Amino acid sequence: MTADPGETPAGTAGDGMADLTLDAKVAAADVPPELVAQSLGQYLRAWWLQVRSGNSGVLPVVLAIVIVAVVFEAVTPEHAFLRPSNLVYIFGLSTVYMVLAMAETVVLLLAEVDLSVGAVALIGGVIAFKLVQQPGPDWPWWAAVLAALACCGVIGALQGTLTALLRIPSFVVTLGGFLLFSGILIVILGGADASVNLNSSVTNQRVIYDMVQGLIAPIVGWIILAVVVVAVGTALWLRSAARRRQGLVAPPLSLTAIRIALVAIVGVAVVIICTVNRGTSLVTVAGVPWVIPIVLVVLGAWTLVLQRTRFGRYIYAIGGNPEAARRAGVSLPAIRTWAFALCSATAGLGGILLGSFFYGEYSTNTADPGQLVLYSIAAAVIGGVSLFGGRGKAIHGVLGGLLIGGIAYGVSLLNLGELATPLEYILPGGVLLAAVLIDVLSRRGAGSVTHV
Amino acid sequence: MSDVRGTSDEEVPVTADPGETPAGTTGAGMADLTLDAKVAAADVPPELLAQSLGQYFRAWWLRVRSGNSGVLPVVLGIVVVAVSFQIANSKFLSAQNLVNLFEQSTVYMLLAIGEIFALLLGEIDLSVGLVMGLGSVVVAELVQPTGADWPWWAAIIATLLACSAVGAIQGSLVARLKMPSFIVTLGGLLILEGVAILVLGGTLVGIGNSQYSNEVVLYDIFWGTFNPVVGWILMAVLVGAAGTGLWLREASKRRHGLETPPRSLTAMKIVLMAVAGIAVVAICNVNRAHSGTIEGVPYIIAIVLVVLAAWTVLLQRTRFGRYVYAIGGNPEAARRAGVSLPAVRTWGFVLAALTSGIAGVLFASWQVSLTTNIIKASNSYVLLAVAAAVIGGTSLFGGRGKTIHGVLGGLVIGGIYNGLYLLGVSSQWIDVAVAAVLLAAALVDVLSRRGAPGQT
């Protein structure tokens, strides 16, 4: 490690990348580009070095999303794929995959796997729906949602305890959990033919009913967007300013500015797309669906937990090298158990959103828990979460989920007849294999870095 | 025997070298052994230490207590399942239901045997359920008189080849590109689900038309039975052959001065085989029909026995089998000993897929007509296959397990399904019960590995 980022970043970067020896180049590839770069050009060069050495981050999945969007736009009849109405629908369809993939990410970061997220998600949804029934428990919606998340959290904690304390492989514990909770799900639902519905005319139930499909009035949407962009921008700017004031290594100012501008542009684009009238000339359907801010809040929460808390650092530490983490004093059983609990609680939220997406109806046909979990793992891995632990972010789950949802909906638009159902399986499977191949090959590249 | 070699930890000082001083070790009596020797003795197959039946049982019990419990837990499990369901419903152990139960368990047994090839290598194959699904669709489509119209044997061979090819592709990805088997077979599962639905063509395909001889043969694979007399003759030939083989092998080992189990043990094994054979044939030859006659040993019992025997020989008596256990026990050690990991791993996945393909042919015959929903449902079979293998006593950590475990585990799962169904329990509670059994089996696996010598 000739380029110690804490001491001589300016010296290293000032020489220009071309002058670096191979050793320094390899070392630089292991350091976030913010730390070695003083100008935007240097940042981009350092970033490209990172990408080339295997730390490609979100780049592959973003490229894949662009390719999928372009291809489907080109081949769908009437080029309908990128219509605002379809884009909004795709986001709603992808929600459950995004949230479940974020949940799965936490466990994958530990180099474990949770096969029960699908069943747990459905249990969470059914519990929340049952608790607001009227006549019935008639709980306020927030209490029902919290109770559902708590139940799922307890389920996760139980599975986590079996994995963390007894060291039964998480694969088997959650495989058993998958069977167990798929059965219990039907019991809670009240039988294989039963269903539970939200009554959209009851205000309390309407809140959950509207979580995905409910719309924020266009003006309110713009106001929220402005507040969010200003808040995020100020936070980013202040943090990098504070770092600079205290003499810490900070990304170049221009980079911070570009990031804020990107957030603003994406936000404006989303609101504009959502504000287009998606209904008919008689019935106006316009506005940002509530699900977008909800997913953003979950994403923000998980990003904060994983990147800025001690718990998050411990998760990465355990995923990277459990023995090293243990010797550094990290309590492996506690962190593992909590990770499984939080994973399941997040999955429970995904289940509530799934029911909301299906217009507040939950039956055994709503979703197949097995397929949900396969798609969620696929989404996380496609998004860029490593299966070997220690590498991945919440945003990867969101992007991977979006890709899976986009493929599923795009195929359904194609009027392929008999070919449609097979392609719904073959495409995600193929993308999953491609993603893992990239993961494995890039790890091979990255592996040489750590061993130099 | 070779599985013990595969799992035995190299660090354990084997003070009781079975090749040299077995008599001395056992002659001292188990109670006199020091702890070290006890641990070492627990690692050696009891046949090698014991000179009399009593010693054999003592050595076996020592092994069980030290974690090498083998098939004991699952046999106990089968007894518990049988007794409790019989108490709850007196029809459970009727001849009719026993045959029915075996029929329901067949597919789980074969899939579990397939899964064991992956588990022994320390890998996992999540696609066995859909390889079965794909195999069933392919074989059914190939014999359609309005379609391919192949003879039944060609259809079966083509199906098995297709399934093996799937296994070869997945195995190569795992073995050569070092992709995790979990994800390769997860992706494989999704792709195969699509391919199977594609082959099915969105409609229903059946093999139940008795006018076409090819369909009749396929149908009879699952539903056909041996004539009662033929059943008895086959059983006698089989037990006679197996018994003679066993006796001759021991005799020849004894002649060459090798370690052999006591004669009384060999005799007991042969008697047990004969009793089991007679019981099975007697049960199957009872008329099971409400009206008319359905009797005789189903073909599938013979098919399962053939697969079981073939794969047992492959794993226990060939170099390939020893390599599989070696890789599962310690891949790095196997590699340094000159074992080609990629080749053996790839073949492991090929055999897993091939066995699933056999299950697929049976599945097509069992279901008679296949629909998209049946194909979609076949992906949940993998969970039961893993459950059956683990319940049967195969370790999830590689290197420990036998094909017989798949058969016994499949019988437990089939028994639970059948028994709870007889009691009118709805399917969701059956899933709960299977999950509980799976978790219990995994717990036993983990705890017994902890108790095993050298693992602490």
Convert the pLDDT of each residue in A120-155 to its tens digit.
999 999 999 999 998 888 899 999 999 999 999 999
- pLDDT value for A138: 87
How far lies B80's CA from each of A51, A187, B74, B83, B436, in Å?
Answer: 58, 26, 10, 5, 15
| Domains of chain A and CATH, by start | 1-53 (no CATH), 54-214+290-451 (1.10.3470)
Token duo for residue B449: 């590995």
- pLDDT value for A33: 67
- pLDDT value for A1: 38
| Distance between CA atoms of residues A146 and A149, nearest Å | 5
Query: Residue A7: which pLDDT band, with cuts at 50, 70 and 90?
Result: very low
Nearest residue of chain B to residue A163 (CA atoms): B443
| Distance between CA atoms of residues B169 and A418, nearest Å | 26
Query: What's the pTM?
Result: 0.79
Token duo for residue A96: 């459950």
Q: Running DSSP on this structure, what letter comes out for residue B4? A: H
- pLDDT value for A34: 63
- pLDDT value for A53: 67
Is pLDDT at A176 greater than 70 in this prediction? yes
Residue A158 contacts B, CB cutoff 8 Å: no
| Distance between CA atoms of residues B104 and B110, nearest Å | 11
| Distance between CA atoms of residues B111 and B108, nearest Å | 5
What are the start-end ranges of the E strands in B324-452?
Answer: 369-370
Please state the separation of Cα B52 from the chain's center in Å.
30
Which of A112, A155, A161, A180 to probe the B interface (max B CBs under 10 A)? A180
Residue A111: phi, psi to the nearest 5?
A: 65, 30
Task: List chain B domain ranges.
Answer: 2-65, 80-224+298-451
Taking only the tens place, the pLDDT of each residue in A234-245 is 988 888 888 888
* Amino acid identity, position A394: A
Residue B276: phi, psi to the nearest 5?
A: -60, -45
| Distance between CA atoms of residues A229 and A240, nearest Å | 16
Is pLDDT at A70 greater than 50 in this prediction? yes
Please state the separation of Cα A76 from the chain's center in Å.
27
Taking only the tens place, the pLDDT of each residue in B39-85 is 555 556 666 666 677 887 888 787 776 666 677 878 888 898 899 99
A184 and B434: CB-CB below 8 Å? no
End-to-end CA gap in chain B: 23
ipTM of the complex: 0.72
Strand bridging mode A195-197 / A361-363: antiparallel
Is pLDDT at A86 greater than 70 in this prediction? yes
| Distance between CA atoms of residues B229 and A409, nearest Å | 60
Please state the separation of Cα B440 from the chain's center in Å.
19
- pLDDT value for B45: 66
Residue among A104, A121, A119 nearest A175 (CA):
A119
- pLDDT value for B163: 96
Provide block-wise average pLDDT over 10 residues at a time, chain B (456 residues): 41 42 41 51 62 78 71 85 90 89 93 95 92 94 88 94 96 90 87 90 82 89 90 92 89 83 84 91 85 85 93 93 93 92 95 96 92 81 86 86 92 90 84 82 76 45
Which residues on B lie below 8 Å from A432 (Cβ)? Answer: 183, 186-187, 190
> What average pLDDT does this structure show over A420-446?
77
How far lies A336's CA from each of A107, A163, A314, B196, in Å?
Answer: 8, 8, 10, 38
B198 and A185: CB-CB below 8 Å? no
B386 and A169: CB-CB below 8 Å? no
Strand bridging mode A361-363 / A288-289: unpaired
What is the CATH T-level fold of the domain B80-224+298-451, as seen in this structure? ABC transporter involved in vitamin B12 uptake, BtuC (1.10.3470)
Which residues on A lie below 8 Å from B193 (Cβ)? Answer: 422, 425, 429
Taking only the tens place, the pLDDT of each residue in A320-334 is 999 999 999 999 999
B442 and A422: CB-CB below 8 Å? no
Shortest alpha-carbon distance between residue B238 and chain A (Å): 38
Is pLDDT at A17 greater than 80 in this prediction? no
The label of the residue with tokens 């986001």 reads A91
* Amino acid identity, position B74: V
Residue A196: phi, psi to the nearest 5?
A: -130, 130
B186 and A175: CB-CB below 8 Å? no
Instruction: Give start and end residues of each alpha helix (H) in A110-134.
Output: 117-131
Chain A 52-71, residues with CB within 8 Å of chain B CB atoms: none
Size of interface A-B (CB pairs under 8 A): 148
Helical axes A253-275 vs A40-52, angle rounded to 10°: 80
- pLDDT value for A412: 84
> What average pLDDT does this structure show over A419-427?
80
Q: Hey, is A73 helix, strand or coil? A: helix
Query: Residue A63: which pLDDT band, with cuts at 50, 70 and 90?
Result: confident
Instruction: Give start and end residues of each alpha helix (H) in A132-249.
Output: 141-166, 170-189, 203-213, 218-245
A428 and B190: CB-CB below 8 Å? yes
Residue A169 contacts B, CB cutoff 8 Å: yes
Q: What percent of chain A stands above pLDDT 70?
A: 88
- pLDDT value for B325: 94
**Pick from B376, B438, B446: which is nearest to A175 by CB?**
B438
**Pick from B178, B426, B443: which is nearest to A440 by CB?**
B178
| Distance between CA atoms of residues A93 and A114, nearest Å | 22
Chain A 170-209, residues with CB within 8 Å of chain B CB atoms: 171-173, 175-180, 182-187, 191-192
Q: Running DSSP on this structure, what letter comes out for residue A83? A: S
Which residues on B lie below 8 Å from A167 (Cβ)? Answer: 446
> What average pLDDT does this structure show over A329-346?
95
Q: How many CB atoms lie within 10 A of CB A146?
A: 15
Nearest residue of chain B to residue A176 (CA atoms): B435
Please state the separation of Cα B286 from the chain's center in Å.
27
Which residues on B lie below 8 Å from A433 (Cβ)? Answer: 173, 179, 183-184, 187-188, 191
Instruction: Give start and end residues of each alpha helix (H) in B45-94.
Output: 46-49, 53-65, 72-88
Residue A378 contacts B, CB cutoff 8 Å: yes
- pLDDT value for B40: 54
